[in-house]
Structure formats: C-alpha cells, structure tokens
Structure 1
Amino acid sequence: MSVRLWTSDEIALATKGTASESFEASGVTFDSREVGPGDLFLALKGEATDGHRFLDQAFAQGAAGAVVSQATTHPHVFVADTTAALNALGIAARGRSSAKVIGVTGSVGKTGTKEALFAALDRSDPGCAHRSVKSYNNHTGVPLSLARMPRDTRFGVFEMGMNHAGELAQLTRLVRPHVAIVTTIAPAHMGFFASEAAIADAKGEIFQGLEPGGTAIIPFDSPHRERLIAAARPYAARIITFGMGEGADFRAVEMMRTRTGGTFVTARFDGRELSFTLSQSGEHWVSNAMAILAAVDAVGADLELAGLALAEMGGLAGRGARLLVPVGDGEALVIDESYNANPASMRATLAVLAHEPGRKLAVLGEMRELGAHSDAFHAELSGPVEAAGVDQVILVGEAMAPLAQALEGRVDFVHVPDAATARARLESVLAPGDAVLIKGSNGVRLSTLVAALAERAPA
C-alpha cells in the first residue's frame, strides 16, 4: 500500500509555488526513468538536460504530479526554480519529522555503514526506519532523500559526501542530525585537497549541523582523531569513539573469522559486552560495526537486534557482494568491490582476499581524483598486493602504470586499457576454485565485468 507523502498544498507551501490542482504523491524523484505510480516528478534543469522534456514520459509512467518552472497541462506545482524547490521540500520534510536522524560521512565505508545502520534500526523498529538510497549523498541526492522521508519515520539515516571543502557544511545543515558519524579518513579526492588533514577538516564539517544535545561518533584508530574531536567539540554534547584500539568507547575486543567469510565479534562498551556474527568480511567492517552499534545506542534502539541485523545482512552490490559463478566443472568466488576505490579501500579489500582459499586473482582498476599524488598512491599498492598472496593481477587503466612497474618481477600481472579487455583476460584464465577480487573507481566500469560474470550464475 502506498502512503501519502505529500499533498499538492503541502508542496506549494514548502516551495512557495502554485498548485494547478489537488493531487497526492506517495514518492518523489527527479529521474524520469525511476517514476512509478503516484510519484512526484521534479523537472530539474541541469547542464546536460532539462527534466521538463520528460514530463510526458513521467506521467505516462504514472506520476501523480510534477514540480515545474515551465508551463504544462499536467497536474503540477509551478515554482521559479525547481532545484531550489527540491531543497525546500527536503527542508520541509526534515522540519515536520520527529525522527531521530543520523548522518554518515567518511572517505571509505559510508554507504555500507549507512545500509547496515538502516538494517539495524529497521530490525529494532520494523517499517519505521528510512535511509538515503544508493549513494544519493550530494547537493541533489541529500534533499531528495529527505523529501522521501515519511512523516511518521522514527529513525532516518542519511549519507553525505563531498569532494570540496564547504560542501558537507551545507548538507549537514539540511539533514540536522542528532548523531553524526565519520567512518574513515583516507586520501580520496586528493586532487581537490592539499593534504589528508584537509580531507579530515572537510569531513569534520558534518558536526556543524548537529542538533542541540547531539552525538559525534569518531574513529578512534584514525591519525586524525584529535582533529575530528576538535571539529566536533563546539557542536556535540557527547563525543564517542569507535574502533579496535584500547581506549575506544565502542571497541572490538575479539574477532574470529567464520567459515562463511564473516567475522564473529565481541564488542565492549560502557561496561557492557555484545557478541555477534558480522556477515561482511574484513577488519574495516568490524571497525564500522562499532560505529553502527554506537549510533544505535545513541538513538535508543535495540543493540541485540542490531547484532542480529548485522549477521543477516547480505553483500552490497559493488561494495563486497559475493557471487559464486560457474567455471568449467566447478565454481569461482567473485568479490564485487567494483563501485569505487581509493588507497585505503584497496588495501582493506586486498586484505580480505588474502584470507580466501584457492588461487587468488585480482582485477584492479585505476583510482581516480588523486591529483598529483596519483602515481605514488598507485605504486604503493604493490605491497598490499604482494602481502595478500595474489597469484595474478589484471591492472586496468592508464593510471595503473606505476603499479605495473612496481610489481615487475614480483607478482604475475597484465596491464590492460579497459574493462572489456580485462573481462576477456579474466575469462581466459578463470578456473574452478579461484577467488577473484574486482575493484576500481566507478568510472573504470568494472561493474560491467561483474555483471557479465553474474549472468553465468544460476537463478
């Protein structure tokens, strides 16, 4: 059953627009391809296209109404600027909500943490949690995610991203979180920052939007911990640290790898202990699980049910999903990390591959937006590749040349220009029992390679 999200009168009031007629919307989107029955379609104008061109398509797919800045015969709310109207809808949604709101940012792990946190809160209070979908974490994705939040939501989880200073400060003031999490600081988007410390400063902007009495959750093991604490102190009533090191408020004190590739974890916090099985692989997931538990505790949700949710979570496409694909008379394991990559996430996922049985293969796409540091960051991956015991590496993209040079004579590798060539190479060498890690920046399009392998898998 669809739930009324917005009436035309509410939309007009929030956006200072004029409604052509009465209608009710049960969803919101600005992508005409996503429009379904009952949705509100926002006709945004961008550099490449104009949403007004797709009004007929949106209503053919069942749109209930639209927000427009040009004349149309379809049911609509007319505004001066549709992008400003999207922002206004997000602000109105946040303003009418009594939900406990959690904001998540970081260089690595923010989408996985957001999804796991949503699963934990939904398990605690079924049907009453809301989160931003996909990686809708920018200046249009965040207000859209807010605008989609049902009015009776009890817990809202919103991912926020940035690649320039000042962007997160704007987003967090829209979200107004009660709890703000920074996962990991890493040299992502180094092409836009002078140093990793500058990235930490930009991520620390998330605390500026905290509601009075709010909680900041900070990685204890980060070299930028004190910098983040200093950024949080003017805005947070409470600062909580998480991680693996002694002294973290939420700390993983025991870890044991399970036969299915997950981790059995014992967490200690506030004089209490909680043991649970984490379905995801890798120490980075264990650390992020501590942040998740800290946030669940901060909003008063059930920690034991959160532990069950973490055990039940499936792999996320492009972010650790595991596929068994037929090869010859057997199967190969594919670890799908194709959505994005930076030096820290590359190291973390190579460490996961190291624990897999059988022959280890890696398809590694170039890491983008690293600026003048790109060559050095790529070359430095030679150590983690070798430490993981990788038997053969397929390097994809021009920026991988420094890594190819560093691996010469140390690890069997081939350097190819694109995902299509990588696919042909992988399929020529893939054998039963292999474990394959596929990871690279999204623009390398290694997801197409994963999709091709997934087509082999039985339904």
Structure 2
Amino acid sequence: MIALTLDRIAEITQSRIGPSARPESVVTGPVVIDSRQVRPGALFVALGGERVDGHDFADAAIAGGATAVLGSRPVAAPQLLVDGGDDDVVAALARLARNVAGRLTEADIVGVTGSSGKTSTKDLLAQVLGRLGPTIAPVGSFNNEIGHPLTVLRADQDTRFIVLEVAARGIGHIAHLCEIAPPRIGVVLNVGSAHMGEFGSRANIATAKGELVEALPAAADGGVAVLNADDDAVIGMAERTRARVVSYGLSEGADVRARDIASDSAGRARFTLEIGGRTAPVRLALVGVHQVHNALAVAAVAAEHGMDADAIAAALAAAGPVSRWRMEVTELDGGVTIVNDAYNANPESMAAALRTLAVLAEQRRAIAVLGHMAELGDGARAEHEAMGRLAAETGVAALVVVGEEAAPMADGARGVAGWQGEIVRVAGVADAAAAVRERLRSKDVVIVKGSRVAGLEHVAERLVSGEDAK
C-alpha cells in the first residue's frame, strides 16, 4: 500500500482519530481483516463477523505491529473510529481503496466478470501479465465489497497491473466495485444461470455483468471491452460500452480465436491461437477444455499490452493452477485420480466438469460425486435432473449424490436409457467419502463438484488423505 499517515487516512475514510492514536503515525500496509495477517505498519480493519467480533482482536493486532485499527466500536488500541456499524466500516474501506487506486497512475486495472470461470481466468491473467511487470490479483475468489478494496490496497507505486475479479449478487454491485477501482480493460466471460434464484432471469444477470463494460473509459481514452463472441448475451454488451470492443472465442469472426482444439490423456487442452494475423500453438497446463475460452480472454488482454502470439502462447503454457479446489488433480497409488473441483458449482461449470471427467476417464472407470447447485431459483429441479442425465450420458460407473437438495440428479440419471451405472444417495461428506472408498478400483477417476455451501472439497481431501480407508 502507498504509505499514508493516520490523519490523512481519517480524512479519506471520514473517520475520527481515537485518543490513543498519533495522527502522524504511518500505515504502510497491509490492510487486513484477520489479525493473524498483521505485519508491522498494517491497518487492521475490525468487522463484526458471524462468529467473532474483530474489535476483540484489536490489542492482538497492535501487538503484531499494526499501526491502528479501523472499526466502529471504541477500543483501547490506537484507532480510526467510524460512526455506524460494519456497513460503514466497509464503506470507509472502499473510500480508502478508491483514493489509493487514483494515486496509482502507472497501474493498469483489469476487471474480470462472468457467471463461471472468473477465478481461473483471473489467475491465468495475473500469471501472464506478471511477465510484464509487478501484478496484484486477489487470492482465491476475493471478489466482493470487502475483498475488492483489500486487493487494491495491496498495490503500491511499483505495481503495473491490478487484476480484479468482480462478482455480483444483485444489480448495481459490479458498478459499485468499478467505482472503487475503475478498470481500463473489462473482460466478460459468459452469462449463465449462476445466482438465477437471486436475479430471476438470464437477462437480469446480463444486466448486472454488463455494468463492467459500462464503467470502462471511452475508446479514445484507452477503454477496452473484451467480450466472448460465442455468448450472445456477452457479445451483445458491445452496444452498452463506449470502449473499443475486442472479441474472442471459437467463432470465425472473433478477433482472438482458437482452432484445432484437442485434449491429451490428462485432460489438458491444446489449440492453435489466432491473434493479430498471427498463429501460435498453445498447450495449457490447466485441466479441462473449458479453459480454452478463459485462455483466449487472457490472450486478448495480453495482446493489448503488446505481447505477440508466441509470447502469449509461452506464457499460457507456463501458467498453472493457483486457487484451491478448482480442477485440482491428485494422483494416488494404484493409478487413481482425484479431481477436486468443489469450490463452487452452477449448471455450466458442472457440465464442463463432467465433460472433463469423460476425457480423463477414457478407457477408465469414472465416479462422479455431486452436490447441489445453489441459488438456481425455480429452475433448480430441472437443472439438477439435467446434470444427473449428463453424468449418466458420459458413462460414469457410479454417481454419488450428496444431500437432499441434489436428489433430482438421481432422478435424471435413472431416466437415461441403457446406462448401467450405480446411483448412491448419501447425506453428507463422510458418507460420500466412504461410498467412494467402497467402490474405488485401481485406475479409477473421481471428480467432486458442488456449490460452496455443500463443502464437498472435504470429500476429496478425505480420499486423498486416506482418512476413510478401512
């Protein structure tokens, strides 16, 4: 973070300096909400939280080297006090991040949004742009009104790129995040059915995602909208932006295109990249053919920063997985492969996972451990049935359905004529891991997928650790 005195931060955040704080004291960063992450010079942001109140850790934060605490409840430690509650603290944090972002005149801000693939694309993009200069990106899916400003506040005068993942739970959320850190380049990956229960329709989801391109500068001022040419709702956003549009996808008319797509036995995609009138062969280190679209979006951004086709191909090939539980592949004794893709799930990402399983399990047995997909609204039952059908159609030997909300998957699988696989219904993580253990054979491939609330990453972890082995 750019070094700032407490009196300057108080002015920016509209907070008051507590009696034990010294106005001339300097915050050099990091800005954190977890007292265990405090370092000398840090600013500790105290939030109420669901289980613990951050204010209770104010003394520990100061003992760890924090310069001050930003919070809404008076504490004995040096403090910047905000009137109100947690919402007002978060608003103060946003004001601080907006001020710092405005000072980073040499940093290029890139925003990435979409119904699925945001984190994988953000991770790829940060690795590719990192070859050009110091790059800041959020860890995991730190993409909301708290994680967004905290990521921005990690940047300093040496930062050249800030890659931000922007998510929405409703209309106006992305617009708010773009006010905190105004992007010059915006990437929209897709408009799917994630959070359909909250938004009500795909059109509403598109409205929310399109707030990113609406926030971009005009083309004359360097604004660039990178849009998926293969998604009608995304490419349609070209009409909503003043920025120059760069399209990517498999369509022949796309500015950045992939052809000759194939996968190796480990599920890693390879393709020919076409960009700027040049071509280059690309071999991704990431698992899943769905990563091709993500890679094309990254290629489009990289080209905007002067990388040629060969340099982009080399950077993409070298980029590996960063965030946990996203197509995380572990090889066990006996040739067993465990794929932990359990960070989150929606119909599009689950379909991609099942198709990847089919590639990985060619001439091998496949087991799919699937939990429910949250926030799908009235279409939840139909979407779960469709995933059950797809699992059966890909030829899994066993479909382990975890939890009552995922039960329609079993009904969908039963309706697939000719499928001879087994359906196993279990209540939770422990039973799911045990069910897989009972059926596991040498060289099997197991994929685990479900929404965040299902916690199915623990199924994969149990299988990898051998916790449920008899």
In structure 2, what residue type is equivalent to 1:338? A
Alignment correspondent of 2:132: 124
Alignment correspondent of 1:349: 353
Pair 293,283 (structure 1): closer, same or farther in 2 beyond 3 Å: same
Task: Indicate which of 338, 344, 355 corresponds to 2:342.
Answer: 338
Describe the SS at the equivalent of 1:72: coil
Pair 118,196 (structure 1): closer, same or farther in 2 beyond 3 Å: same
In structure 2, what residue type is equivalent to 1:189? H
1:425 aligns with 2:429: no
Alignment correspondent of 1:189: 195
* Aligned-pair CA distance for 1:137: 0.9
CA distance in 1 between counterparts of 2:309 and 2:155 reads 24
**Do the aligned residues in 2 keep the contact of 1:266 with 1:274 (CA within 8 Å)?**
yes
CA distance in 1 between counterparts of 2:78 and 2:297 reads 44
Alignment correspondent of 1:214: 223
CA distance in 2 between counterparts of 1:443 and 1:397 reads 11
Describe the SS at the equivalent of 1:279: strand
CA distance in 1 between counterparts of 2:344 and 2:234 reads 24
The alignment-based identity, stated in percent, is 36
Describe the SS at the equivalent of 1:117: helix
**Do the aligned residues in 2 keep the contact of 1:25 with 1:38 (CA within 8 Å)?**
yes
Alignment correspondent of 1:416: 426
Structure 1 consecutive aligned stretches of length 4 or more whose deviation exceeds 6 Å: none
* Aligned-pair CA distance for 1:230: 2.3
Provide Cα deviations, 1:104-131, integer angstroms capped at 9, x if missing partner: 0000000110010000011232xx1111
Pair 26,364 (structure 1): closer, same or farther in 2 beyond 3 Å: same
* Aligned-pair CA distance for 1:370: 0.6
Describe the SS at the equivalent of 1:415: strand
- Of residues 378-387 and 441-450 in structure 1, the stretch that sits farther from structure 2 once superposed is 378-387
* Aligned-pair CA distance for 1:91: 0.4
CA distance in 2 between counterparts of 1:302 and 1:61 reads 46
**Do the aligned residues in 2 keep the contact of 1:379 with 1:406 (CA within 8 Å)?**
yes
Alignment correspondent of 2:117: 109
CA distance in 2 between counterparts of 1:63 and 1:331 reads 49
In structure 1, what residue type is equivalent to 2:315? A
In structure 2, what residue type is equivalent to 1:88? R
Alignment correspondent of 1:161: 167
Alignment of 1:291-330 (within 5 A): 291-301=297-307, 304-315=310-321, 316-326=323-333, 330=334
CA distance in 1 between counterparts of 2:376 and 2:45 reads 34
* Aligned-pair CA distance for 1:301: 4.7
In structure 2, what residue type is equivalent to 1:215? V
Alignment correspondent of 2:101: 94
- Of residues 175-184 and 279-288 in structure 1, the stretch that sits farther from structure 2 once superposed is 279-288
Alignment correspondent of 1:71: 74
Provide Cα deviations, 1:407-449, integer angstroms capped at 9, x if missing partner: 1263321111212211111122222211111100011111111
Describe the SS at the equivalent of 1:102: strand
Task: Indicate which of 20, 27, 30 corresponds to 1:24.
Answer: 27
CA distance in 2 between counterparts of 1:191 and 1:4 reads 40
CA distance in 2 between counterparts of 1:420 and 1:58 reads 37
Alignment correspondent of 1:56: 59
**Do the aligned residues in 2 keep the contact of 1:243 with 1:288 (CA within 8 Å)?**
no
CA distance in 2 between counterparts of 1:417 and 1:26 reads 44
* Aligned-pair CA distance for 1:402: 1.6
* Aligned-pair CA distance for 1:78: 3.5
CA distance in 2 between counterparts of 1:141 and 1:277 reads 32
Structure 1-normalised TM-score? 0.91
* Aligned-pair CA distance for 1:4: 6.1
In structure 1, what residue type is equivalent to 2:252? E
Provide Cα deviations, 1:359-406, integer angstroms capped at 9, x if missing partner: 111101111101111001111113321332211110112122222112
CA distance in 2 between counterparts of 1:70 and 1:279 reads 48
- Of residues 432-441 and 387-396 in structure 1, the stretch that sits farther from structure 2 once superposed is 387-396
- Of residues 335-344 and 32-41 in structure 1, the stretch that sits farther from structure 2 once superposed is 32-41
**Do the aligned residues in 2 keep the contact of 1:379 with 1:402 (CA within 8 Å)?**
yes
**Do the aligned residues in 2 keep the contact of 1:124 with 1:305 (CA within 8 Å)?**
no
Alignment of 1:432-451 (within 5 A): 432-451=442-461
CA distance in 2 between counterparts of 1:263 and 1:28 reads 38
Pair 16,452 (structure 1): closer, same or farther in 2 beyond 3 Å: same
Pair 48,341 (structure 1): closer, same or farther in 2 beyond 3 Å: same
CA distance in 2 between counterparts of 1:424 and 1:61 reads 43
**Do the aligned residues in 2 keep the contact of 1:28 with 1:39 (CA within 8 Å)?**
yes
* Aligned-pair CA distance for 1:143: 1.5
* Aligned-pair CA distance for 1:277: 1.3
**Do the aligned residues in 2 keep the contact of 1:201 with 1:227 (CA within 8 Å)?**
no
Structure 2-normalised TM-score? 0.89
Describe the SS at the equivalent of 2:210: helix
* Aligned-pair CA distance for 1:5: 4.8
Pair 427,10 (structure 1): closer, same or farther in 2 beyond 3 Å: farther
Describe the SS at the equivalent of 1:384: helix
In structure 1, what residue type is equivalent to 2:460? V
1:271 aligns with 2:277: yes
**Do the aligned residues in 2 keep the contact of 1:332 with 1:434 (CA within 8 Å)?**
yes
**Do the aligned residues in 2 keep the contact of 1:255 with 1:264 (CA within 8 Å)?**
yes
- Structure 1: which 5+ runs fail to align? none
Pair 296,130 (structure 1): closer, same or farther in 2 beyond 3 Å: same
CA distance in 2 between counterparts of 1:180 and 1:159 reads 10
In structure 2, what residue type is equivalent to 1:26? G
CA distance in 1 between counterparts of 2:445 and 2:114 reads 28
